[in-house]
Amino acid sequence: MAVAAPTGLSPTRLGRLTRAMRGYVDRGETPGLVTLVLRNGVEAHCDVLGTLGDEAATPLPRDALWRLGSMTKVVTSVAALILLEEGALRLDDRVAQWLPELAGARVLTAPGAELDSVRAPSRAITVRDLLTHRAGFASYAMPQGPIGRAAMALMAGTSMRPDLAPDVWLARLAELPLIHDPGERMVMGFSSDVLAILIARAAGTTFPDFLRERILAPLGMDDTMFWAGDDAIARLGPALTVGWLNNKRTVHDPAAGGYFSRPPAHPSGGGGLLSTADDFARFGAMLLNGGRLGDERILSRKTVELMTTDFLTPEQRAIPYFATPYWRDRGFGLGVFVTDDVAARGAPVSVGQYGWRGAFGTYWFNDPRERLVAVLMLPVSWPAVIPPILGDFETLVYQAIED
């Protein structure tokens, strides 16, 4: 009689995960990847497959560095919630008390209007709006009309500008009108970047220092950083982009000489962190454990419950997200999606699952019901589509559950 694995995951079925992920590498869809699955606080599975994707085809190390992209936003959200717990800010505080640059915000009269065709907003932007991405900032990911082009110009290829300090960057953003009234709808854009600047001002320190002192160092996330120095750059491969129509692969950002090879002038709270699979799994485990990892408590259990509660209205969930019905099966909390309709997802997941993905090819989710933390790291982004590998990873993790 077979003895159940202490994690409750079948080693045989986890082999399916390895074979599927190796298939993506063997077919050349990604040069390499890392998967890491924890259950009941124990490592259950890890794949380290392929190469860094560099010209030397360097074998991928387990501690490879990955551009987190929008998974940075989750870390930024936790930083803001730390200040909320300390009474330094509240969800319904107006952000202009820390960011006076935004006190005079105006709203476009129509989506494609010229930038000087504006009106007064219905109300001021709040901390809640930043955490739920309902502040009204234009999205750099959907460049439409004059405001879209202006957002792309501010982005300048990366959310982590190498040439503009945070205060200067914020002043540039404040010159642009909002695309909708605060609180009206959810648009993934610059909200987390603005939130990072607010955190720094409210805490009286820099954003990187706040993250290091309050989150990264306590959790032992020593390989999570805003740039890779000489001692770490060899663990960072290039960021690749695959065209979804022509399947053409291009280097979006090289390692040496790229955006993440030097200290940024603007450490982006929206997409600026590098990390490893192990580091991010520790962060995920902290949230799964109700805000605590070992002897270190980052958040209270009740704050994690708040963070993982859906804040979107039914009307907001009906609005397409990047031209897809993304919210048909999930809502959005304070920095994470929250699954609430398994049938609509059409996958063997749990109600209450939460997580987020990054534009460079990273994905993470927690499942409180199953006591799961799952991390997928790869260096390839597919513009305008969600690649099948993310869904395959998720399904193959869940199908391995045996008790």
Same domain for 381 and 289, yes or no, is yes
Q: Tell me the CATH number at 54.
A: 3.40.710.10
Helices (H), 175-225: 191-203, 207-211
- Give the model confidence (pLDDT) of 183-235 as tens digits: 999 998 899 999 999 999 999 999 999 999 999 999 999 999 999 999 999 99
Domain span including residue 38: 11-72+220-398
- Pairwise CA distance, residues 340 & 331, whole Å: 7
Structure tokens at 248: 């053409």
The single-letter code of the amino acid at 203 is: A
pLDDT confidence tier of residue 160, bands split at 50, 70 and 90: confident
pLDDT confidence tier of residue 322, bands split at 50, 70 and 90: confident
Same domain for 110 and 179, yes or no, is yes
| Domain termination residue (choose one: 179, 207, 235) | 207
Q: Which residues pair with 43 in a beta bridge?
A: 38
What pLDDT, on a 0 to 100 scale, did the predictor assign at position 374?
Answer: 98
Same domain for 66 and 81, yes or no, is no
Same domain for 138 and 226, yes or no, is no
Within a domain: 213: no
* Confidence (pTM): 0.96
pLDDT confidence tier of residue 1, bands split at 50, 70 and 90: very low
| Domain termination residue (choose one: 207, 241, 260) | 207
Residue entry with tokens 């730390």: 82
Within a domain: 119: yes
> C-alpha distances in angstroms, 211 versus 267, 284, 290?
11, 15, 19
Within a domain: 158: yes
Same domain for 369 and 339, yes or no, is yes
Same domain for 136 and 267, yes or no, is no
- Give the model confidence (pLDDT) of 100-124 as tens digits: 999 999 999 998 899 999 999 999 9
Same domain for 276 and 369, yes or no, is yes
What pLDDT, on a 0 to 100 scale, did the predictor assign at position 384?
Answer: 60
- For residues 340-355, give the mean pLDDT: 97
Same domain for 347 and 277, yes or no, is yes
- Pairwise CA distance, residues 261 & 200, whole Å: 23
Same domain for 182 and 238, yes or no, is no
Secondary structure in 3-state letters for 38-73: EECCEEEEEEEEEECCCCCCCECCCCCEEECHHHHH
Find, among 52, 18, 19, the residue nearest to 35 by Cα.
Answer: 18
Find, among 286, 284, 269, 224, the residue nearest to 130 by Cα.
Answer: 269
How many domains are there within the chain?
Answer: 2
Same domain for 235 and 192, yes or no, is no
Same domain for 385 and 364, yes or no, is yes
- For residues 342-366, give the mean pLDDT: 96
What pLDDT, on a 0 to 100 scale, did the predictor assign at position 385?
Answer: 64
pLDDT > 80? residue 159: no
Residue entry with tokens 């999930």: 330
Within a domain: 215: no
- The rounded mean pLDDT for the chain is 94
Same domain for 234 and 150, yes or no, is no
Burial class for 133, CB neighbours closer than 10 Å (0-12, 13-18, 19+):
buried
What pLDDT, on a 0 to 100 scale, did the predictor assign at position 31?
Answer: 95
How many helices (H) and strands (E) would you count in the chain?
12, 16
What pLDDT, on a 0 to 100 scale, did the predictor assign at position 2?
Answer: 45
Structure tokens at 357: 């993905």
- Give the model confidence (pLDDT) of 286-302 as tens digits: 999 999 999 999 999 99
Length of the chain: 403
What pLDDT, on a 0 to 100 scale, did the predictor assign at position 244?
Answer: 66
What pLDDT, on a 0 to 100 scale, did the predictor assign at position 321?
Answer: 84
